[in-house]
Amino acid sequence: MTTLEQNLEKLSGYLARFREQGIPNRIGGEDRPAMSGATFDNHSPVDESFICTVARSGAADIDAAAQAARAAFPAWRDFGAENRKKILHRIADRIVARADEIAMAECWDTGQAFRFMSKAALRGAENFRFFGDRAPSARDGQALPSPTLMNITTRVPIGPVGIITPWNTPFMLSTWKIAPALAAGCTVVHKPAEFSPLTARILMEIAEEAGLPAGVWNLVNGFGEDAGKALTEHPAIRAIAFVGESKTGSMIMKQGADTLKRVHFELGGKNPVIVFDDADLDRALDAAIFMIYSLNGERCTSSSRLLVQETIADEFQKKLVERVNRIKVGHPLDPATEIGPLIHKTHFDKVTSYFDVARKDGATIAAGGEAVGGEGYFVKPTLFTGARADMRIAQEEIFGPVLTAITFKTEDEALDIANSVEYGLTGYVWTNDLTRALRFTDKLEAGMIWVNSENVRHLPTPFGGVKASGIGRDGGDWSFEFYMEQKHIGLATGRHHIPQLGK
Ligand code: NAD
């Protein structure tokens, strides 16, 4: 295993070109600064040091990228699914070859620990392989014969699409959205998050090296309120795949209304992990800890609310406190680190503000509840106990390594508490009572539920949330449903009667 020092030396090599050249846009296969000439500075959350300048784009840059995506669309649509599959596999190969660079850049840009980011880079490669393999069947439809017609359905790519990604695990999430769009035959304009632009650029380079034709994938950097907004409003862009906050999703829906955008939203969450007293408590403990404290808690599917049955609550929470206090906070490139710094000062201020909220609302801070101090945006892994379901710490998405524990007496009470939030992304249920598991999961308001398991993503399954956690699903064939249009063709099978007017 490499040491922190070795990793830092490698990182310095990887970052040199960003420092020297900054990150321009990539439009139609060419590097271009923002047309206004504007840039913004990108800093690392680890020590607040300068990483590079980034193009700060506006509507004119988005327009150029959308025109490039529109021009590239017919050839890419007609390129042949087998050819698309080959390119997507070549992208995956190159991601694997540069996984170390991707993981380190991601750690430095986002503050995520290397142990998770090295896996996230490889997951990104898997996304390209998975959707590449499915490209040849993406157009498949159904035969629905009626008495006079052979009705067939087929799918065609919707056209140029806009993809807007957030700063948490930006590499993996970009691959998750872009791979199915390309496999479907769409062209792409990608606007990555302003807080973490490094790996979107590396991914774009990889795609072009793998033989992706110019203009099929365009990268435009900038802020949400200008570049992001312009992308959602552009008439050439047929659909917007968005991952981010619920309130941003709501804005995008309004912005896209005039051009009738199709949208797919993956939004926030306040996901419950519900532990009944008949569960395997050791495994439940491991999973609950992993699902909130890995990835710095900056994870949409994190189990940020622990609902624990009263009969076992004291013992369970005691063990939890011991474990939380032992979680290693440190430099993201230290292989031993489990939690790194939060992404940005703004987010750090938001997360730490909940420590006072918890105190004021009368919850107990059983672990953490303070910043680490010194440079960087490090906070101690935090556990609130004695919380009530109506407290802000139990209702609002904090998006940090912060867990709110609430006790319950009965299954009905657990369900009421679980469903009492505006979100509904995931739920985790721990019980050895099969009938209860079936009953409970049926009523739990969430798009994805795991029983006696942490979140284990299986790519063919649907991913998405209900309520304020999202609209639509992706994964497997669901991704193609979004990036493609269904087309019905009815072929007459004989000379059926056609009504004759004006005869
Ligand atoms: P955010 O909504 O602030 O930003 C996401 C992206 O949207 C960024 O690229 C940003 O520039 C852009 N944006 C902002 N305003 C815009 C506008 N008016 N028009 C167009 N684009 C705009 O989210 P964030 O803080 O970067 O990410 C964290 C959030 O993402 C959390 O709420 C988290 O739960 C959510 N998330 C959800 C999933 C999921 O699958 N459900 C996955 C990851 C993250």
- pLDDT single digits (tens) 384-440: 999 999 999 999 999 999 999 999 999 999 999 999 999 999 999 999 999 999 999
Q: What are phi and psi of 147, to 5 degrees?
A: -55, -35
Nearest to 191 by CA among 248, 269, 112, 273: 248
Q: From atom 12 of ligand 1, which residue's Cα is the shortest distance away?
A: 224
Ligand 1 contact, 222 CB (< 6 A): no
pLDDT for the residue 2: 83
Report the chain (503 residues): mean pLDDT per 10 consecutive residues. 91 96 98 98 97 98 98 98 98 98 98 95 97 98 98 98 97 98 98 98 98 98 98 98 98 98 98 98 98 97 98 98 98 97 97 98 98 96 98 98 98 98 98 98 98 97 98 97 98 98 96
Ligand 1 atom with least separation from CA of 268: 34
Q: From atom 16 of ligand 1, which residue's Cα is the shortest distance away?
A: 224
Chain region(s) in the chain for CATH 3.40.309.10: 272-451
CA of 46 to the centre of ligand 1 (A): 21
Which of 178, 246, 248 maximizes ligand 1 atoms within 8 Å of its Cβ, making it the mutation to test the pocket?
248
What class has domain 272-451? alpha beta
What fold does the segment set 17-139+156-266 form as a domain? Aldehyde Dehydrogenase; Chain A, domain 1 (3.40.605)
Counting Cβ atoms within 10 Å, is residue 219 exposed (0-12), middle (13-18) or buried (19+)? buried
Ligand 1 contact, 472 CB (< 6 A): no
Ligand 1 atom with least separation from CA of 463: 40
In tens, the pLDDT along 218-246 reads 999 999 999 999 999 999 999 999 999 99
Ligand 1 contact, 232 CB (< 6 A): yes
Tell how far CA 353 is from the center of its chain. 24
Chain region(s) in the chain for CATH 3.40.605.10: 17-139+156-266
Q: From atom 20 of ligand 1, which residue's Cα is the shortest distance away?
A: 228
How much is the pTM? 0.97
List the catalytic residues. Answer: 266, 300
Q: What is the 3-state secondary structure (H, E, C) of 100-147?
A: HHHHHHHHHHHCCCHHHHHHHHHHHHHHHHHHHHHHHHCCCCCECCCC
Q: From atom 26 of ligand 1, which residue's Cα is the shortest distance away?
A: 166
pLDDT for the residue 1: 67
Q: What are phi and psi of 218, to 5 degrees?
A: -120, 140
